[in-house]
């Protein structure tokens, strides 16, 4: 169940930070449910058939691959990820464009490891400008493209003028296991799985790829029955259970951690589930565990950490975590971050800072009720800016 705010006859699901900000600035709020809606990891539209993650449409990749085959460049870059000695994971892998130490763009690889980088403007909005080739050259020439996967180090590819003008294919980026890593997104228990458990796990993945969630669920249950220490199978089972049986999902995530305490993904899922039910101490405990293992974190993990800390009254710490989320999320895939920062600023009576964050939201929010509500929030805060000076 989502948190719902009703503002002047507008009623639709909103992140808790919207409701909090409305209360802070004195707008009447009607909350008809207590649970919090946590924004999704990606801004991609949800699949019509539920499955563990919705990643970019391979048809989009194929379209641009066909364009590159015809020698048409400008406005897009292509590439592929590979793991040394490992099959590709079930989870979408993050790809970042780093320009002089600053992440300026991100994307995700599909289940075949293929990825597409399109131009994003200064507000992180993906678009293809009329002078796409020139814009891409100005912004991305000399920048490096890397993948991110906890427990692995990534090779890097430098974007050249040739990539931007003639050959958009960047080639293959390879991830190598880090022997001494304190965290991993691929559990070591997978390599230890007996052949019949691994066969069931691979069957589950094949069923999941064709969106046969029922078949995948059955195969995963078979895999963990054969090999109770199969952390990745427990984790994927939990993700499939989450929509219909949250308690079973929590149990599966906990069993994944019991099998492999260095496996970071179950901590992230448990933190998100705790936030959705407003168990803020539990959410913070899980985000802390995850960030101790992998200090780099992800935009969603830092956001969940910021939200939990804010709800526990740790305003300064919440601000630090929210800013970290924003810094590594140039495309604003976690839409709640800037809103939460506005709440934090308003709580500190920094109304000017709050308004600035809300104005930033309007640069990348699509037109609609949420953008309209942000405009209302700005209007409510504007008088407080004047009186606080």
Is the pLDDT confidence value at 63 over 50? no
Q: What value does the mean pLDDT take over residues 46-70?
A: 41
Look at the chain and report how many structural domains it folds into.
1
Q: Picking from 118-127, 237-246, 358-367, which range would have the lowest pLDDT averaged per residue?
A: 118-127
Q: For 198-217, give one letter per residue: b (16+ CB within 10 A) or e.
A: bebbebbbebbeeebbeebb
Q: Measured between alpha carbons, how far is 161 from 280 in angstroms, rounded to an integer?
A: 48
Q: Is the residue at 142 inside a domain?
A: yes
Q: Is the residue at 144 inside a domain?
A: yes
- Provide the β-strand partners of residue 97: 105, 145
* C-alpha pair distances (Å), 142 with each of 77, 97, 127, 131, 157: 14, 10, 21, 19, 9
Q: Is the residue at 252 inside a domain?
A: no
Q: What are residue 106's phi and psi, to 5 degrees?
A: -140, 155
Q: Picking from 1-5, 274-278, 302-306, which range would have the lowest pLDDT averaged per residue?
A: 1-5
Identify the CATH number of the domain in which residue 130 sits: 2.60.40.10
Q: Is the residue at 127 inside a domain?
A: yes
Q: Are the C-beta atoms of residues 97 and 103 closer than 8 Å to each other? A: yes
> What is the percent of the chain with per-residue pLDDT over 90, rounded to a whole number?
47
pTM of full prediction above 0.85: no
**CA angle, 39 as apex, 97 and 79 as ends, to 5°?**
25
Q: Is the residue at 141 inside a domain?
A: yes
pLDDT at 133 (0 to 100): 62
* Neighbour count for residue 291 (Cβ, 10 Å): 22
pLDDT at 59 (0 to 100): 47
- As a whole number, the mean pLDDT across the chain is 80
Q: Is the residue at 227 inside a domain?
A: no
Q: Measured between alpha carbons, how far is 134 from 151 in angstroms, rounded to an integer?
A: 37
Q: What value does the mean pLDDT take over residues 55-71?
A: 45
- pLDDT tens for residues 106-116? 998 987 889 99
Residue 166 belongs to what domain range? 58-177
Q: Are the C-beta atoms of residues 42 and 95 closer than 8 Å to each other? A: no
Q: Is the residue at 303 inside a domain?
A: no
Q: Is the residue at 128 inside a domain?
A: yes
């Amino acid at each position: 169940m989502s948190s719902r705010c009703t503002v002047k006859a507008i009623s639709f699901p909103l992140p808790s930070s919207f409701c909090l900000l409305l209360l802070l600035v004195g707008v009447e709020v009607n909350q008809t449910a207590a649970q919090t809606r946590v924004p999704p990891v990606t801004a991609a539209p949800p699949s019509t058939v539920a499955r563990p993650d919705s990643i970019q449409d391979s048809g989009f990749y194929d379209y641009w691959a066909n364009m590159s085959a015809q020698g048409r460049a400008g406005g897009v870059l292509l590439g592929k990820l590979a793991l040394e000695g490992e099959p590709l994971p079930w989870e979408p892998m993050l790809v970042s464009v780093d320009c002089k130490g600053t992440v300026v763009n991100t994307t995700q690889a599909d289940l075949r490891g293929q990825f597409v980088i399109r131009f994003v403007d200064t507000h992180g909005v993906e678009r293809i400008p009329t002078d796409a080739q020139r814009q891409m050259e100005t912004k991305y020439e000399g920048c490096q493209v890397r993948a991110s996967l906890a427990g692995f180090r990534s090779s890097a590819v430098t974007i050249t003028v040739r990539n931007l003008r003639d050959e958009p294919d960047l080639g293959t980026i390879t991830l190598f296991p880090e022997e001494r890593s304190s965290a991993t997104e691929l559990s070591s228990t997978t390599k230890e799985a007996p052949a019949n458990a691994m066969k069931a796990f691979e069957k589950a993945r094949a069923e999941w790829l064709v969106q046969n969630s029922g078949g995948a669920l059955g195969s995963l249950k078979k895999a963990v029955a054969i090999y109770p220490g199969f952390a990745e199978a427990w984790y994927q089972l939990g993700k499939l259970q989450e929509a219909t049986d949250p308690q079973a999902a929590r149990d599966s995530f906990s069993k994944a951690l019991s099998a492999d305490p260095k496996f970071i993904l179950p901590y992230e899922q448990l933190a998100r589930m705790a936030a959705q039910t407003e168990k803020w101490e539990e959410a913070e405990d899980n985000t802390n565990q995850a960030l101790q293992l992998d200090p780099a974190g992800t935009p969603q993990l830092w956001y969940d950490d910021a939200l939990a800390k804010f709800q526990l009254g740790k305003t300064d710490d919440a601000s630090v975590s929210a800013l970290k989320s924003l810094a590594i999320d140039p495309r604003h895939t976690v839409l709640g971050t800037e809103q939460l920062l506005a709440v934090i600023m308003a709580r500190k009576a920094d109304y000017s800072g709050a308004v600035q964050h809300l104005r930033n939201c309007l640069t990348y929010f699509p037109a609609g009720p949420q953008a309209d509500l942000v405009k209302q929030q700005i209007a409510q805060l504007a008088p407080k800016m004047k009186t606080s000076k």
